[in-house]
Amino acid sequence: MLTDEKRNRLIQKAVAARENAYAPYSNYQVGAALLTRSGKVYTGVNVENAAYSVTMCAERTAVFKAVSEGEKDFAAIAIATDNAGYSCGSCRQVLAEFGLDTIVLVINGEGKVVDELTVADLLPKAFSPADLDS
């Protein structure tokens, strides 16, 4: 369950993480904070590259950090941008891999939640591990 305390902590961490984004080309800084069901929070930022195709989004950075530490059961993710932008398709697919019921908080530059939904809402009819079963 996402209590008010956990929600506020997640929002604060996403907003703070955004300050570390490396976005010299787009100037579009993104911070993410991912809450695991065990209670740990993993942050991520977007990291751009002059070879644009190897840029990494904040959401995937947070997920990959969590998975590299053995966490694969996610409760919620907060995504902070100046204009409350939504996750790209690649991030939606990566989040879907670990649970369509993960709560997604979309945060604006003032730290306010402008939308709360699930990964399933972001990516309806997602391709999932179940689709690989014969």
Helices (H) and strands (E) in the chain, counts: 4, 5
Cα-based distances in Å from 131 to 6, 44, 82, 126, 127 = 33, 28, 36, 9, 6
User: Are the C-beta atoms of 46 and 22 separated by less than 8 Å?
Assistant: yes
The active-site residue, picked from 59, 69, 97, 110, is 59
Q: What are phi and psi of 108, to 5 degrees?
A: -90, 180
| 59 has catalytic annotation | yes
Q: What's the per-residue H, E or C state across 4-54? A: HHHHHHHHHHHHHHHCCCECCCCCCCCEEEEEECCCCEEEEECECCCCHHH
Catalytic residues: 59
